């Protein structure tokens, strides 16, 4: 399958000179102008080995992704399900270190890739590097933001400040049980976009979306709008129909991870990853048959 001819990869038309939060914002702005959602695709950095991920990341772009989320492997990935946990184990066993993942991003930037890229990892890694050192390393690599699932809104101020100093985004997660005043606080504090965890438990592809997931989107979307920030939902998304349902429920973007990581685990080539992304991207527009 080839990418949707109605939409090119955003990196081919991204305004020059943008980086960090501005580059992330531009991705959502363009999608809104095109009356569609944003597709965020996740892969584990350094999987199956250091440097091997670059061809797969390029495949995401070739398939039509709007924003890339790349994992820095960590030994205790508490928010991740079995598929991504195994990817982290493979990457670590192969010797992948944070600097290897960032070097891969730098290779893409040096090759002219302008798609927004954020990294997801766990708090021990930026804490060890120091908040400022971590943010600086991301900026130098060409990364636009970060997601730290075990750094809640109550504890994120030092990292958020360090990221802001570099013009980058500290993207916060809202859990399914996050409601009311706390949801409003998370939305107002998050930078770049608000990442809604669309199901209970850890990450992992699912065959169907629970009705509660669509309800979570409908509840969180107003808080994101009041905060002036886009809403992206992830955890469990694996099919174009999931993507379309979430966009129609009020999400501005959808994050797909485990379904793509599994292709790498199964030793599928970058071409198959590209085709999977192209299929998912077809769900970004509303169903033309619906009224």
**pLDDT block averages, 10 residues each, the chain of length 291:** 48 74 97 95 95 95 97 89 92 97 98 97 97 99 98 97 98 91 97 85 48 83 97 83 87 92 94 95 71 43
22 catalytic residue (yes or no): no
Work out how many domains the chain is built from and give that number: 1
Look at the pTM and tell me if it is higher than 0.85. Answer: yes
Q: 291 in a domain, yes or no?
A: no
Q: Kindly report the CATH number assigned to the domain that includes residue 47.
A: 3.20.20.70
Point out the catalytic residue in the list 47, 66, 69, 144: 69
Q: Is 100 considered catalytic here? A: no
Give me the domain span that covers residue 78.
17-281
What CA–CA distance (Å, rounded) separates 157 from 128?
16
Question: Is residue 99 in a domain?
Answer: yes
The CA-atom distances, in angstroms, between 72 and each of 16, 28, 32 are: 27, 24, 30
- Which of 66, 80, 100, 275 is labelled catalytic? 80
Residue 288 lies in a domain: no
Structural domain includes residue 10: no
- Whether residue 258 is contained in a domain is answered as yes
Least Cα distance to 140 among 287, 17, 20 occurs for: 20
């Amino acid at each position: 399958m080839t990418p949707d001819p109605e939409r090119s990869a955003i990196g081919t038309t991204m305004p020059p000179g943008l980086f960090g939060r501005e580059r992330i914002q531009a991705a959502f702005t363009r999608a809104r102008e095109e009356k569609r959602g944003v597709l965020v695709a996740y892969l584990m950095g350094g999987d199956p080995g250091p440097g091997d991920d670059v061809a797969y990341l390029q495949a995401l772009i070739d398939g039509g992704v709007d924003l890339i989320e790349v994992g820095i492997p960590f030994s205790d990935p508490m928010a991740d399900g079995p598929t991504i946990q195994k990817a982290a184990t493979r990457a670590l066993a192969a010797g992948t270190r944070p600097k290897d993942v960032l070097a891969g991003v730098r290779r893409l930037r040096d090759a002219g890739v302008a798609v927004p890229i954020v990294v997801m990892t766990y708090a021990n890694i930026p804490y060890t590097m120091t908040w400022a050192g971590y943010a600086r390393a991301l900026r130098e690599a060409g990364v636009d933001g970060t997601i730290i699932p075990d750094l809640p809104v109550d504890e994120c101020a030092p990292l958020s400040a360090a990221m802001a100093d570099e013009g980058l985004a500290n993207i916060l997660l809202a859990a399914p049980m996050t409601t009311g005043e706390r949801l409003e606080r998370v939305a107002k504090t998050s930078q770049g976009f608000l990442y809604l965890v669309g199901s209970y438990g850890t990450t992992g592809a699912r065959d169907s979306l629970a009705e509660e997931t669509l309800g979570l989107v409908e509840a969180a979307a107003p808080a994101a709008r009041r905060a002036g920030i886009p809403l992206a939902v992830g955890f469990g998304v694996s099919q174009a129909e999931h993507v379309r349902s979430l966009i129609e429920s009020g999400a501005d973007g959808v994050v797909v991870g485990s379904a793509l990581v599994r292709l790498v685990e199964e030793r599928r080539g970058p071409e198959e990853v590209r085709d999977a992304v192209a299929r998912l991207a077809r769900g970004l527009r509303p169903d033309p048959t619906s009224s």
